[in-house]
Amino acid sequence: MVSLCLQAKRPRVGAAPRVVANQMGAFEVLPQELILSVLTALSSAADKPADLFNVMLVCQEFCRLVTNPQVIRAASAACVSVLPRRWCAAADRFLRFCGDNGNADANFFLGMIQFYCLGLQTHGWSRMLMAVRSGHAHAAFAAAVVYYNGSCIDHNQRQPLAAANLFALAACRGHMGALRDLAFCVSNGLGVRQDAEAGRRLTFTANLREFRATYPTAAEQAVAYAHVVGNPGCLTSELGCFTTVPASLRGWAHPANRFLCDWFSANPLPFPPRRLLLMCSMPTCGRPETRGLEYRRCPVCGIARYCSRSCQSLHWRMGHTRECVPTHQWLMEAIANHAVVNADDGANAAAMPAVNNNSATHHNNLGGAAADAPAPK
Ligand SMILES: [Zn+2]
Ligand SMILES: [Zn+2]
């Protein structure tokens, strides 16, 4: 009946446009709480900030409702993420607005950018802590990494106790890699009492979590179970099982990690040795060192460096095992190569007098020619 009535009231062609007092149209009959809950669901599932901005273009009332703290607080990580090439003052303002309205992803994203990319460590650190207080797992892990490495806080002092506590918090919040870092801290007595057995149990739990995330279906779990039975050590391996690198760990842990990677590929750090600052060797991490030799090196090759144990574990299983050369081996190769270069230089040096003789002869010839030339008048 409503549709029939609307059809009957269709304006004539050429008639003057009717002034609409409330542009919400059919939405005006809906309670505001219902519209807010729909917009909240939309922002929590948005793939990009444009999804939110498009809703704001519908009408003034929608524009007002979209900026409601309830909608902004629920916005997804993708909704409050920006690409490095689009970073500008407006993007900064947008993230600040979302963060100030309680969006933990925005606080974490902005905190990571300020801390690692813009050199605003104090501002970035406070944003990260705001996200930690909101219960953000990635922020808890990021803050733990900062404490673990002593990055730009309290005179670059490592604070393993705070790091272990935050690794535990992140693990409780569901962060996949934090449990492995916590196991490393417990096994080696970093900030907490050393307990090898407890460390082994945590490592076992971390490996089990990865198994469950890698093989979610029942059929896949049967294959995983057969693998575990055939390889008894794979669940106790400190670096994890090679068959279990969950898809969630292969890609970007968070849009903030992708921002860091893209940012530093577009603006590379000054080449050593002017500033010996390098990136974490895990390709999808993106964290740079904030001071020289900050990150722990791979104990085998001494070249790869990692912000955390979880980055080391993942990188080892995702390819470093094939390229890692023991320190003594590549040192011997470097010395051998140096000897070959020196031998070549020696051979070149032996050949140099002939060259000099030739050039001297040539010079003498020129001199002779000059001597034969008529003197200028
Ligand atoms: Zn290595
Ligand atoms: Zn890393």
Q: What tens digit of pLDDT does each residue of 251-296 get?
A: 788 999 999 999 988 877 655 444 557 899 999 999 999 888 899 9
Each residue of 161-209: pLDDT tens digit? 999 999 999 999 999 899 999 999 999 999 999 999 999 999 999 998 8
- What mean pLDDT comes out for the span 37-52? 90
- CA 138 – ligand 2 centroid, Å: 13
- CA 238 – ligand 2 centroid, Å: 17
- What mean pLDDT comes out for the span 340-344? 69
* pLDDT at residue 122 is higher than 90: yes
- What mean pLDDT comes out for the span 213-240? 85
- What mean pLDDT comes out for the span 327-337? 80
Instruction: Quote the strand ranges of the chain, DSSP E.
Output: 296-297, 305-306
- CA 299 – ligand 1 centroid, Å: 7
- Which range among 117-131, 245-259, 344-358 shows the weakest confidence by mean pLDDT? 344-358
- Helix H or strand E encompassing 207: helix 196-214
Residues with CB under 5 A from ligand 2 (ion): 280, 282, 285, 307, 311
Q: Say how far apart CA 106 and CA 109 lie, in whole Å.
A: 5
- What mean pLDDT comes out for the span 46-72? 86
Q: Whose atoms come closest to the Cα of 284: which ligand?
A: 2
Domain boundaries, the chain: 29-78, 81-267
- What mean pLDDT comes out for the span 106-129? 95
- CA 98 – ligand 1 centroid, Å: 41
Residue with tokens 């895990």: 282
- What mean pLDDT comes out for the span 57-85? 89
CATH fold for domain 81-267: 1.25.40
- CA 280 – ligand 2 centroid, Å: 5
* pLDDT at residue 244 is higher than 60: yes
Residue 362: Cβ within 10 Å count: 10
Q: Whose atoms come closest to the Cα of 327: which ligand?
A: 1
Residue with tokens 């760990």: 249
* pLDDT at residue 363 is higher than 70: no
- CA 316 – ligand 1 centroid, Å: 8
Q: Say how far apart CA 248 and CA 81 lie, in whole Å.
A: 18
Q: What is the pLDDT of residue 270?
A: 58
**Could you tell me which residues are beta bridge partners of residue 305?**
297
- What mean pLDDT comes out for the span 299-322? 92
* pLDDT at residue 241 is higher than 60: yes
